[in-house]
Chains A and B, each alone.
Chain A
């Protein structure tokens, strides 16, 4: 990362991501406030659902995709120590994705695409929304190609050498994303765009939901993998220690990439268009993919313990106190792991084939994914941004205390937002409602929790604003001379000098993924062409 051009490339990606993020934070706080009914003047279903749709798209598609692309370019150029391949192409991908975002934003913000970020056909939004979302994905495919080319070029130039772990994992993510996005791409290209343009009269919502389920689980691992990369390659070094095991890290990333894909039917447990056998198969796969997270938890905590003991920590838990809690990366990983433990517990409940019926589509579910995505994943995005910033801008962070305040407040805000949200789900509150109009005693018990959520959302909004302020202020501050900081990758305790092929490349694993996808999605998709189905015409909302 020693040329200004690629710095500009990465900063452009990050700023698109973070501007999208802070706009979406603002909408999030509006939404908890509107939904609670405490401010009658705010109440408007059309504004609410336009806001929810935009919030989801900005957080889940724009923030993530742009952050991951910028992150990948940084990892590729610094870990492989070579310039980004074909920078004009990388800029092309950026602009394609950016134009897509603008195109999708127009109908979203004007209430012409209030179909939520999960689309929900046969409700139909404006065609520009689907076309914009497609361009965003195609732009990210450009990034995938660049990652794959850089990965294979490096391997060709360094035969027999282990590919640096960070790049290995980033490439795993690019491959995962290509497989992942195929499902939703087919849905959008063959169902939603033709329906919204009036080229076809009806679509099968069952098929649409099956195709979306193809994408819906692995997409969260696409978002999560940069967080895990930071866990493995940055955290141990920042804490002052070593990575516990590089081989296990590679195995974790492979199992994540392979098993995240064939398990999407846990989103369809409650759906009538798929057989229970397929749901159970995907359900078992969902538990298998918990394994790499358990391994990651072990490796990261073991790496932290090594660091804590090297810093003089004694006793069973004494090493925790000697960790550098004022290092943003170390603080973030501790908070991320805390949220991962509770979020993971909720995830096990959701994954449980039959128990899921009790929480399906209740407020429990957004509570869960805000904790695990907004909490665990995003707090590491913050940490990565803070770590990369001096490298990217040539200027130090203007105030470390402000950074720590921002990270702590994000964690506190998440606790206040998501704990009551989970409870509301258990108390039966459905998700995706703009007001509570049910004439039932049950709803009285919801009020105090909604109040707590408003507070949580407010803390998060302030914290999000502080994050953007910290980055902008650091970048804009006048400095007499630029700092030369480099990105340091953690060393494993047992240095890896050579690796078996299956831990250093993806040819074999792509074949495994193809086989698993054929097994788990082949018949469930083909059935729609063999049985007598009835299409649905499009509906407004």
Chain B
């Protein structure tokens, strides 16, 4: 049964011939078909969500010099926090550094599309608001952008979830999600200091 690769010009055909030459039990064939169907179903759902519903992880390949954030226009100190751009979109610029997120506290509206832009000023960090999909790695040298909505108002913790040094577990803060009708866009430059 030693089948040499046939001299046919089509190597794929030759491979198929070799595949057909081996013995596979009919039960095993059936199980493989079921497995392929299940895998196909999962992959199908994920692909459809990605292409048609735009459900993707944060993947904007955008570089930035983490060593000179304070000199950059976008992530300079008085430009951090919540802002509304001329299209009415809410952009939240945040800096992660050992061991805190800056600004320390922000108010955002519920049931509204929010775009977070995260940068690191030192090492690798990660940020997650538990039980939401506001999650991303913050890699120095890159801007991590996440768009999401929070369905219900409340106080949410913001936790660093990547080892960033011995004080890693001290790196956390809170974010207030406010009912949409109660939320007001911050006036430009009011984000300095504590808004509470």
Contacts from A to B (Cβ < 8 Å): 45-46, 49, 114, 116, 120-123, 160, 204-206, 209, 244-245, 247-248, 268-276, 279-280, 283-284, 287-288, 290-291, 294-295, 298-299, 302, 348, 352-354, 356-358, 360-362, 427-438, 440, 442, 494, 497-503, 527, 531-537, 539-541
Contact = CB atoms under 8 A, between A and B. Distances in A.
Nearest to B35: A294
A374 B172 CA distance: 31
Given A294-B31, A298-B31, A502-B15, A533 B126 contact: no
B5 interface: yes
B10 to A, nearest CB: 15
A433 B130 CA distance: 15
Contacts of B163: 49, 116, 120, 123, 432
A209 B125 CA distance: 13
B62 interface: yes
Contacts of A432: 161-163, 168
B50 A353 contact: yes
Given A269-B57, A434-B166, 8 more contacts: A120-B163, A287-B39, A353-B55, A432-B162, A498-B1, A534-B66, A539-B165, A541-B165
A494 B46 CA distance: 39
Contacts of B160: 430
Contact of B139 (A206, A353, A361): A206
Contact of A431 (B36, B139, B142, B161): B161
A270 B42 contact: no
A114 B168 CA distance: 12
14 contacts: A49-B163, A120-B163, A122-B122, A123-B163, A245-B28, A273-B142, A284-B46, A353-B55, A354-B57, A437-B169, A438-B159, A442-B157, A501-B4, A534-B64
Contact of A430 (B23, B131, B143, B159): B159
Nearest to B162: A361
Contacts of A435: 169
A284 B18 contact: no
B168 A362 contact: no
B126 A361 contact: yes
B60 interface: yes
Contacts of A428: 128, 130-131, 157, 159
Nearest to A504: B2
A178 B130 CA distance: 39
A529 to B, nearest CB: 13
Contact of A360 (B59, B61, B145, B161): B161
Nearest to B36: A291
Interface in B17-58: 18-19, 21-25, 27-28, 31-32, 35-36, 39, 42-43, 46-47, 49-50, 55-58
Contacts of B58: 270-272
B172 A438 contact: yes
Contacts of B185: none
B67 interface: yes
B190 interface: no
A358 B55 CA distance: 13
Contacts of A356: 57
B13 interface: no
A45 B169 CA distance: 9
A261 to B, nearest CB: 18
A483 B133 CA distance: 60
Interface of B: 1-5, 15, 18-19, 21-25, 27-28, 31-32, 35-36, 39, 42-43, 46-47, 49-50, 55-67, 122-124, 126, 128, 130-133, 135-145, 157, 159-170, 172, 174
B128 A280 contact: no
Contacts of B35: 290-291, 294-295
The 10 lowest CB-CB distance pairs between A and B, nearest first, are: A428-B130, A430-B161, A276-B59, A361-B161, A433-B169, A272-B144, A500-B18, A534-B65, A272-B142, A357-B133
Contacts of B170: 437
B2 A498 contact: yes
B161 to A, nearest CB: 4
Contacts of A539: 122-123, 165
B139 A534 contact: no
Nearest to A204: B141
A520 B164 CA distance: 29
Nearest to A359: B135
A114 B123 CA distance: 14
A433 B141 contact: no
A423 B133 CA distance: 17
A120 to B, nearest CB: 6
A121 B141 CA distance: 12
Query: B58, B145, B160: which has the most chain A beta carbons within 10 Å?
Result: B58
Given A362-B128, A500-B3, A270 B57 contact: yes
B67 A270 contact: no
Nearest to B167: A45
Nearest to A440: B157
A272 B140 contact: no
B135 A272 contact: no
Nearest to B118: A272
A269 B56 CA distance: 9
B40 to A, nearest CB: 9
Contact of A284 (B47, B64, B159): B47
Given A501-B4, A502-B15, A434 B161 contact: no
A123 B43 CA distance: 36
